[in-house]
Amino acid sequence: CAPLVTEPPQKHRDSENALFGMGNPLLDISAVVDKDFLDKYGLKPNDQILAEDKHKAMFDEIAKKSKVEYHAGGSTQNSVKIAQWMIQTPHKVATFFGCIGTDHFGEILKQKAEEAHVDARYYQQTQEPTGTCAACITGDNRSLVANLAAANCYNKEKHLDLDGNWELVEKAKVYYIAGFFLTVSPESILKVAKHASENNKIFSLNLSAPFISQFFKEAMMKVMPYVDILFGNETEAATFAKEQGFEETDDIAEIARRAQSLPKVNKKRQRVVVFTQGKDDTVATIGFLSELVQERPLEECIRAGHYAANVIIRRAGCTFPEKPDFP
């Protein structure tokens, strides 16, 4: 693979904070479990849910497993972290906003963001501890249970609206937010989405999980007119289609076409819909972002997505080698 071409310093400065992400920063706690463990807490082998009261004890139990691993997580934070890894230099191409607690887990997240060269600007509060996500692994399957805790406390007025923070939003060229954040601060998403649309910049949204399309449909559809790129996997796409009342169709390509033709405010950009199939689906969106920020053609974005997915799916948690081998 040819070495990355060094760009002139000015170009580097221009691309700092070019990618903006906002979401739920979580510390991933992953361990291999058995079917009895899943049954005990009413979990499906492959799913993503928010923790309920019945899951509280599970976090303690999984933390006591012999081979437990901790990784910085949360869908959007992982996405911008991998995009930064794919880009390599300059550092801090990616900005991330989210809420954490003033605790040990919060300090770990700060340290991990710094190691990944992501410009993480956390809103810290004392009411709730830093959020966690239990990854219960059985074979090739993983069941994710998120306890948002502090992540749920993100406050638009106390963070996004502050001049120093909003300047970073204005500096960005590409925006990526996972649908998960619709459960926390839809008003923050809307403010960022409108800014992107009014300035002809790229705003992308991930459907994230079937329950978002089902139970946060109203918030999602307020944002949809501003969405330039919509990401999702086949299960999320099918649920989205059902909730939107698309006529009987389980054809992913047809669902994508209908999602593409939903009302859109910025007519200068046609909506792009990226629906992935297969277990490496989530990661594919991330490599895609790394090329998008560098204004590469759509085909290159997709190729980068497949590359990133291929590397990361083979590793524990959202981790990666020191450098990508992507030409």
3-state helix, strand, coil in the chain (%, to 5): 45, 20, 35
Cα(181)–Cα(151) distance, rounded to whole angstroms?
9
Tokens 């403010």 appear where?
191
pLDDT at 71: 83
pLDDT at 2: 38
Q: Tell me the average pLDDT across 311-319.
A: 64
pLDDT at 286: 61
Farthest-apart Cα atoms in the chain, separation: 57
- The rounded radius of gyration (Å) of the Cα atoms in the chain is 19
Q: Measuring CA to CA, which residue among 248, 249, 273 is closest to residue 261?
A: 273
Cα(199)–Cα(197) distance, rounded to whole angstroms?
5
pLDDT at 9: 46
- Digit-coded pLDDT (tens) for 251-286: 888 999 999 999 999 999 999 998 887 654 544 566
Cα(177)–Cα(224) distance, rounded to whole angstroms?
12
DSSP category for residue 3: P
Cα(300)–Cα(319) distance, rounded to whole angstroms?
22
Q: Measuring CA to CA, which residue among 155, 17, 157 is closest to residue 87?
A: 17
Distance of CA 245 to the CA centre of its chain: 26
pLDDT tier for residue 315 given thresholds of 50, 70 and 90? low
75-79, 84-88, 153-157, 314-318: lowest mean pLDDT where?
A: 314-318
Q: Is beta strand 26-32 parallel, antiparallel or unpaired with respect to 69-73?
A: antiparallel
Q: Measuring CA to CA, which residue among 13, 300, 284, 17 is closest to residue 175?
A: 17
- Digit-coded pLDDT (tens) for 114-166: 999 999 999 999 999 999 999 999 988 889 999 999 999 999 999 999 999 99
73-87, 186-200, 307-321: lowest mean pLDDT where?
A: 307-321
Cα(153)–Cα(25) distance, rounded to whole angstroms?
11
Q: Measuring CA to CA, which residue among 102, 101, 84, 85 is closest to residue 93?
A: 84
pLDDT at 65: 86
- Digit-coded pLDDT (tens) for 189-241: 999 999 999 999 999 999 999 999 999 999 999 999 999 999 998 899 999 99
For residue 5, pLDDT over 90 is answered with: no
Cα(86)–Cα(293) distance, rounded to whole angstroms?
11
